[in-house]
Amino acid sequence: MAQPTADTGRRALDVAERLVQTRGFNGFSYADIAEALGVTKASLHYHFPSKADLGQRLIERYEAGFVETLAGIDRAQQNAAQKLRRYAKIYADVLRANRMCLCGMLASDYATLPKPMRERVRHFFDENERWLVRVLDEGRKAGQLAFKGAPIDLARMIVASLEGAMMLARSYGEPPRFDAAAERVIAELEARKSV
């Protein structure tokens, strides 16, 4: 095992991503990744000199994939409420893969994170808010959504609710708890036909 030309870097990120999403940044070690890949800890340090380096790369890759997924939603969906449900479904799918949001976990670990990681965590949430603000704004203007106040406040509330609902649903081992909370948040925004 452990071919010299294997893309250990990428595979290490895959394993580390899962570990952070389940156990948090302080809940795993190089030894865990090394064992999963059948390589030594020293090999991992070649690809990621410090754990802080590993963490930064993790967030960058995760955000890139997330942003791409959001772009996919934009391409496929017309209705703003549908877009929001697709957004919530990203979280639901992660939860059913027995994982948490990578950056939700890192937000919990925030006080123990190296500074470069902190900035990248915030950037991830900034991107989420930016996408949501646009969807909310367009949805309201199109008469598909109805809500009071600034889209940014609502966007932040949506992110917070989904992140929190995910954490709670996992603690109970009941993914439907997440679905119920997400649906409550989104349904509240849909323009009533009777108005």
Partner DNA sequence: GTCTATAGGTGGATAGAC
Partner DNA sequence: GTCTATCCACCTATAGAC
Diameter of the chain measured on Cα atoms: 66
CB of residue 131 vs a second copy: minimum separation in angstroms?
A: 16
Full DSSP string of 121-184: HHHHHHHHHHHHHHHHHHHHHTTSB---S-HHHHHHHHHHHHHHHHHHHHHHT-HHHHHHHHHH
Burial label, 64 (beta-carbon count in 10 A; 0-12, 13-18, 19+) = exposed
CB of residue 29 vs DNA: minimum separation in angstroms?
A: 3
| Helical H segments across 1-50, by residue range | 8-23, 30-37, 41-47
CB of residue 112 vs a second copy: minimum separation in angstroms?
A: 5
Long-range CB contacts for residues 31-38, cutoff 8 Å, separation at least 24: 37/2, 37/8, 37/11, 37/12, 38/1, 38/2
38 interacts with, out of DNA, a second copy, none, CB within 5 to 8 A per kind: DNA
- With CB under 8 A as the contact rule, the residue among 9, 24, 114, 175 that binds a second copy is 24
30 interacts with, out of a second copy, DNA, none, CB within 5 to 8 A per kind: DNA
When the beta carbons of 26 and 69 are compared against DNA, the nearer one is 26
157 interacts with, out of DNA, a second copy, none, CB within 5 to 8 A per kind: a second copy
| Contact call for residue 26 and a second copy (CB under 8 A) | yes
When the beta carbons of 70 and 181 are compared against a second copy, the nearer one is 181
Q: Which of 183, 136, 144, 148 is nearest to 162 (CA)?
A: 183
109 interacts with, out of DNA, a second copy, none, CB within 5 to 8 A per kind: a second copy
When the beta carbons of 13 and 154 are compared against a second copy, the nearer one is 154
| Contact call for residue 195 and a second copy (CB under 8 A) | no
Helix-helix angle 80-96:151-172, to 10 degrees: 30
Q: Which residues bind a second copy (CB under 8 A)?
A: 22-24, 26-27, 100, 104-105, 107-112, 118, 121-122, 125, 149, 153-154, 156-157, 159-165, 167-168, 170-172, 177, 180-181, 184-185, 188
